[in-house]
A and B are shown apart, each in its own frame.
Chain A
Amino acid sequence: MPQNFTLNVNGAARTVDAEPGSPLLYLLRDNLGLHGPKFGCGLGECGACTVVMNGNAIRSCVTPVSAVGDARITTLEGLGSIDNPHPLQKAFIEEQAAQCGYCINGMVMSAKALLDRTPHPSRDDIKLALDGNLCRCGTHMRILRAIERAAQQGA
């Protein structure tokens, strides 16, 4: 049966009424109107739904809300906005690193977790960190460059 969960999302306490087994993704998108995280597979296979939870890039599509507790959740919206983008978002814009852009949430959030841990990753580090993030449009070269640019700028 649905119950109340108070989540720590982008630095604010947000209460949602949800079934304990409901994946976090649907609550972020449908209850809280945070459309950065996307539904891609619901199976933990593509990375479109990635959010950062206590510093780790996690797949919100397979994370039940009951497992979240008071963990700090950051979504794409929590990084920045068009008017005030986070340095990573800015680097992605500068490199024009998107085609349809549907995968980009996962790319940026995975990169965020990586750079927080490893501020100066090698190209191979980046590839490995993003290996579970699928992009069908084939924007990979630009995504790599964007993350390298952000790292250089100390994002």
Chain B
Amino acid sequence: MSGQEMEFASAGLGRRDFLHASGGLVIAFSLFGAADATLAETADAATRSLAPPPAGRLYAWLAVHPDNTATLFTGKVETGTGVATALAQIAAEELDFPLDRLDVVMGTTSETVDQGPSYGSRTIRYAGPQIRHAAAAGREALLGLAAAHFQVSANQLATGDGAISVTGKPDRTITYGRLVDGNRLNIEIGASGERFAMQVAPNVRTKDPSTYRIVGRPVRRKDIPGKMTGQFTYVQDVHVPGMLHGRVVRPYGVGATLVSVDETGLKDIPGFVRVVRRDNFLGVVAETEWGAIQAAAKLGSTLDPSGPDAGQAKWSDWEGLPEMERIWETVRKTAGRNSTVASQGSVETALSSAGRTLKATYQTPFQMHGSIGPSCAIADVQGDRATFWSGTQMPHQTRHDMAKLLGIPLEKTELRWFEASGGYGRNGLDHAVADAAVMSQAVGRPVRVQWMRWDEHGWEPKGPPIVQDLLGALDKNGRVIAWRHHMWVPTTGDTHLIAAELIGKPDVTGATGLGRPAVTYAYTFANADVAGHGEGRVGLLTAWLRSPAQFETTFAMESFIDELAAAAGQDALQFRLAHLEDPRAIGVLKAAAEKYGWESRPIGTGRPDGSGKAARGRGIAWVNRDDVRVATIADVTVDRSNGAIKVGRVVVAHDCGLVVNPDGLRNQVEGNVIQSLSRTLHEEVAFDRAHVTSRDWMGYPILHFTEIPDSIDVVLVNSGPEYPAYGAGEPATCPTAAVIGNAVFDAIGARLRQTPFRPERVKAAINT
């Protein structure tokens, strides 16, 4: 067997199959009621069901192997944030099992329960309790087995480190592995509800959090060693025997139709197999990647195509995108639905008695996820059966979507999940699997599709452009007496599939949705009017991108507060504290300030007299995203002569409740800071009337090593076991743009109201 085939074998045959294959009789747990005694069954790998396992059975979550290792099964997936390890910590804690002997199987639809997509910082918060309860039920079940084994009552037993002993009799000890003896844990533990709302083993007793020994301890991530040595299998690395390599050839204009395809010369490309054409969907398949890349290039898939008929595939002239320079006007004018976030007192009445009124408009552009590894998937469609290999963040949903797209029964589809390059939201992964599905269905062989860099940059769903109007008024004591924040937000949840649109079945699956005013208004202004205008698709396909819309709304809210504080001649921190009651918000602001060594002074008064070219400033901002509070402070140096911003020290205070893996969390927070700094300083998707013109890293630069901050200090607040766990995948992204903008103002007195803060924009702000 070659290495590649072995990889496939382990991809195809899950741990549970080994149990099926090796198991004989499944244990009949008389302790768990008479009904369970009848559940003994002979497992048979050949008739493996492709349906997800039933959530109410212990084996859906847990397998214990004869060598006293165990496997946790979860429908959640790893996206680089470390949740595989954190979920394992939660399970190991309740199970009293050594963490390094607990393996995690994620996402594969025939082996895991659908616990909802892995997005929105929701994995620890929602799947954590489900797994905690399943593992606690597992421990109870093992105690039951041990009681029978030792002929004692369960309360004479103690669990520890994967073994059970009779209290006071250390020689009477048995490992979990020997107790289970290779059998499947076919025990009813009970489950109700679905996905995020699912309750698992609701009646089981879980541990008192104050006794936690594994949860809350910094542990090394399980996935990292393999990622350092090339031994980790990403979805990009999966090899299926007999597979072809596919590449897509996208329309020149986003909405263009395919006029003709000239196949001249394609047959001369070594390894070329054929063109796949279905309506406006165009792709090529070949025996080698290089063959597919060359064939796709001939048809027009290149970095810089010069027009709709530059390649051998000819597209209609389509120029239906809105004008880039005026995108915010377009957003403003787009029809949508209004919604109210906060309505307090009367802003109009307050304005009539205001000492000073400020107004500002904030604009943010389309931005992209920008995964380093372009989206990739394999599909093997054989008649009415299909298997997919994908790194999607929503494997169970994508399985449903693929069945619909192909028109095949759900029971005959399976998605095998493998980790991809970090996604940060809905990037191209779900679209690549649809591309592979269409191509495999056409050629009857497994097809691996990897997008080219320009496919990813050009066609991944973007974060939308947002425009926001703010108005604020101060009384003569410098207190805010009126606050208005209106935001226009295109959808961040368009789940239509590109391949479906191209094959002429746009609505076979997915929905467009409406943008939401993603803001948590938490100030205590007497008169406030906070409202959103939610829209559908505006120009480009848009979906969730880390902290959807709230990165942008926090930029506006926390910059404008700073504008008011500056107008009132006050200190940025004290001004916020004076208008806040939320104790956790106050907590993170104070914790960040303490770590930083914040000294009170009016905004803009710390800067040197302007004798040098470079000026230094500091900025602060905070957010409440999904019950997590984050406050960030940063120092910047601004070069007046060229507009360049250099970020020095960054301090983040983070309150997401109980922290499962403190080192994993710090890693996340640092990542959020650097990525959002990149979005703040550099990132804007460019497009003309036909398509996205930011098609590579030159056209869409991101932060480079030489631009990273000098340091990032992370302070964890309220992270102990007495607090519930909220999610931490994205909140620390939110404050960054406001922090940097505020620091720039503090340094040079110029206010930045549009991202990215590229040097030209900074220079323009200096001159106004």
Contact = CB atoms under 8 A, between A and B. Distances in A.
A82 interface: yes
A149 interface: no
B227 interface: yes
Interface in A87-104: 89, 92-93, 96, 98-104
Interface string B418-436: 0111101000000000000
Interface string A31-73: 0011111111111011010000000000000000000000000
A105 B696 CA distance: 20
Contacts of B369: 136
B675 A138 contact: yes
Contacts of A34: 230
B696 A45 contact: yes
Contacts of A154: none
Interface in B657-689: 663-664, 667-668, 670-675, 678
Interface stretch (B176-184, B193-201, B705-713): B705-713
Contacts of B229: 36, 76-77, 79-82, 85, 89
A142 interface: yes
Nearest to A88: B228
A138 B696 contact: no
A42 B453 contact: yes
Interface residues of B, number: 66
Given A39-B236, A39-B450, A42-B453, A100 B422 contact: yes
A33 B3 contact: yes
B705 A140 contact: yes
A38 B230 CA distance: 10
Contacts of B232: 101
Given A39-B374, A43-B453, A101 B227 contact: yes
A33 B239 CA distance: 9
A108 B228 contact: yes
Contact of A127 (B3, B231, B702, B706): B706
Contacts of A85: 225, 228-229
Given A43-B453, A46-B697, A127-B708, A102 B373 contact: yes
Contact of B220 (A77, A80, A96): A96
B453 A136 contact: no
Contact of B228 (A21, A40, A98, A127): A98
B234 interface: yes
A9 interface: no
Interface string B208-232: 0000000000001101111111111
A100 B421 contact: yes
B233 interface: yes
A100 B419 contact: yes
A98 B419 CA distance: 14
Nearest to B668: A99
B290 interface: yes
A137 interface: yes
Nearest to A41: B453
A93 B708 contact: no
A85 B91 CA distance: 29
Given A30-B288, A136-B371, A98 B227 contact: yes
A101 B220 contact: no
B422 A137 contact: yes
A134 B698 CA distance: 12
A2 interface: yes
B372 A46 contact: yes
B80 interface: yes
A132 B668 CA distance: 23
A19 B286 CA distance: 14
Given A77-B230, A81-B231, A85-B228, A26 B289 contact: yes
A15 to B, nearest CB: 15
Most B CB contacts (10 A, CB to CB) among A2, A33, A79, A138 go to: A138
Contact of A103 (B220, B372, B711): B372
B214 to A, nearest CB: 17
A7 interface: no
Given A77-B230, A82-B225, A133-B705, A138 B673 contact: yes
Contacts of A37: 230
Given A102-B373, A136-B675, A26 B290 contact: yes
Given A19-B270, A100-B419, A104-B227, A41 B696 contact: yes
A8 interface: no
Contacts of A76: 228-230
B169 interface: no
B486 to A, nearest CB: 32
A134 B702 contact: yes
A12 interface: no
A62 B288 CA distance: 17
Contacts of B47: none
Contact of A39 (B373, B671, B696): B373
Given A26-B290, A81-B229, A136-B675, 17 more contacts: A19-B290, A22-B288, A34-B230, A38-B372, A42-B293, A43-B697, A48-B372, A92-B224, A98-B223, A100-B421, A101-B223, A127-B706, A135-B372, A136-B370, A137-B671, A141-B670, A141-B708
18 contacts: A1-B270, A23-B290, A35-B237, A36-B230, A38-B372, A46-B697, A75-B230, A77-B230, A85-B225, A89-B228, A89-B229, A96-B224, A98-B228, A108-B228, A127-B708, A136-B424, A137-B80, A142-B670
Interface of B: 2-4, 79-82, 220-221, 223-234, 236-237, 239, 270, 288-290, 293, 303, 369-374, 419-422, 424, 450, 452-453, 663-664, 667-668, 670-675, 678, 696-698, 702-706, 708, 711-712
Nearest 7 pairs of A and B residues by beta carbon: A100-B80, A138-B674, A36-B230, A101-B227, A100-B422, A102-B421, A138-B671
